[in-house]
Amino acid sequence: MKHPDGPWERTYPPELPIGTEAWWIPISAEGEIRLATSGQDLVRGPVDRAPGHAVLIARRSGLPVLAWREPARADDDQSGADTMCTPLREAVGRFPERSAHLLGYAAQIVAFREEARFCPRCGTALVDGELWSRTCPSCRHALWPPATPAVLLLIHDGGDRILLAQKPGWGERWSILAGFVEPGESLEGCCAREALEEVGVEVRDPTYTGSQPWPFPHQLMIAFEARYVSGDVVPDPGELADARWFHVDALPKLPPHHALSRRAIEQWRSRRRP
């Protein structure tokens, strides 16, 4: 899977790094990624100076990409070049989309291998299995890195208004609705349920508009638009601080540009105001 702005392609066990140099993605216990001081690229270092628990997750520009968990905030300069520690959420916002996906991929693989240590059925220590799976040598139960589906729902009135919500702690920022898909539920069913539960309105004709991996911790965000049908807007106090209609010409502070929720809003706005 090669991407235009890397390029990078995924690798899977048991493949091993080839060559003497590699791109490093060290991730601290606090969830910070050590980057080159520009904050715009990965650290480059010798393959043999990466720790023994580093895993090969990809190849980028012909070099292996190694990721690992560091026990504490990594301010030391192991690579021979200046480095800086950046929270994953901030780093994802700085990188081009495909490169940001690489950071998220690394963080999720490292976290999964750290957490998937014992079999949830029999308690036996897990071992590496096929691809990125972790397998129980006793009962053969297998675990795979999770990707949890969650919908983003943009509700509009068919005209120039959009329904936005605000969560506690967001400050002045507003966004569209979001919620995890529950077992036995379709994506469209999740849209209808979230609209009713979170803001008390009914919607119709949910239409898919895009998706985005979101490594906080392992969501796959799936965006929909839906037309408002009925109901007074009443935000769920357990979920939201506020929810209200906004006119296309008077939108509030929105999510950052790299977020799929912002992209969905901009797509809607561009149709109302080409």
Measuring CA to CA, how many Å separate 12 from each of 96, 128, 130, 152, 269? 23, 11, 9, 31, 41
Encoded amino acid at 2, one letter: K
Closest CA to 239 of 195, 191, 173: 195
Asked if the model's pLDDT at residue 261 lies above 70, the reply is yes
Task: Tokens for 170, please give them.
Answer: 């967001």
Categorize the per-residue pLDDT at 100 as very low, low, confident or very high, splitting at 50, 70 and 90.
very high
- Structure confidence at residue 1 as a pLDDT band (50, 70, 90): very low
Give me the amino acid identity at 122. C
Among positive and negative, which fits the CA dihedral 113, 135, 105, 38? Answer: positive
Same fold, 8-115 and 148-272: yes
- Kindly indicate whether the domain formed by 148-272 is annotated with CATH number 3.90.79.10: yes
Q: Domain residue spans in the chain?
A: 8-115, 117-145, 148-272
Say what the pLDDT of residue 82 is: 77
First to last CA, the chain: 34
CATH level 2 (architecture), domain 8-115:
Alpha-Beta Complex (3.90)
